[in-house]
Structures are given as structure tokens and as C-alpha cells.
Amino acid sequence: MENTNPIFLNRTVNGNVFRCSKCNLIHIEFKNINFNFTDSQFSHFAEYLNNIDGAEWENKNRNTNFTRKILIPIGYQNINILLNNEELTEFKCLLKTQQLSNNYVQQLNTTQCNFLIYLN
């Protein structure tokens, strides 16, 4: 993907969300995962992820062999995203987007997410 002056919508320590000015898709990068969504696909995915109770799923899957206990299917029967509750919380924070204004840094502090957003 070439650099096409993206419009950043949100950033955390482990990811960012931006709209490509060339293809008009919303691109999500979180750790080593990448998604490319239309507006409606992004809204659906963000809503789905926001409704996951991480603590509940960590408890339900506490006896699995996976290190990360929250398994999120992504539409392919043999591929899931694996997260722990802290990663899920950060991912949810990342997906709470709005178009960011230019030329300042915003400090966000919550009980679960502490990060800087460098707005461009």
C-alpha cells in the first residue's frame, strides 16, 4: 500500500485506524493484524467487538491450552483472533474513532487505556 496521505481516526500504543484517501477504505492495524473495511463493515466490526465481554470469555475459556483466552472468529472457519482482556480493551479503545484534527497531540487516560494520539 503506497503512502497516500491517510486520515488518522485513532491511535493506541499497539495500533492505528486510518482512512486511505485513495481507496476510501478504513484500515485497522493492531499488533500484527490488519483489516481493511468499508464504512459499514467497520461499523459492524466495531459494534461486534464492543459487545464482547472479555472477562466472561477469559473465565469460560480458562481451561483451554491457548495463552490468550478470548477467541474471536473473523469469518474464516480456521482463523480466529486470540486476545487477552487487556488487548481486547485496547482494541475496543482503538475502534472508537472520529476524524482527528490537525497539528496537536491529545493525551487520553482511562483506567484501561493510557496513550498519546499524535494527530496530523
Q: How far apart are CA 22 and CA 9, in angstroms?
A: 16
Q: Per-domain residue ranges for the chain?
A: 7-119
b (16+ CB within 10 A) / e for 1-26: eeeeebebbbbbeebbbbbbeeeebb
pLDDT per residue of the chain (120 residues) written in tens, 0 to 9: 566 789 999 999 999 999 999 999 999 999 999 999 999 999 999 999 999 999 999 999 999 999 999 999 988 889 999 999 999 999 999 999 764 444 344 555 555 555 555 554
As a whole number of Å, the end-to-end CA separation of the chain is 19
Is the pTM higher than 0.75?
Answer: yes
Return the SS3 of 3.
coil
Is 68 in contact with 52 (CB distance < 8 Å)? no
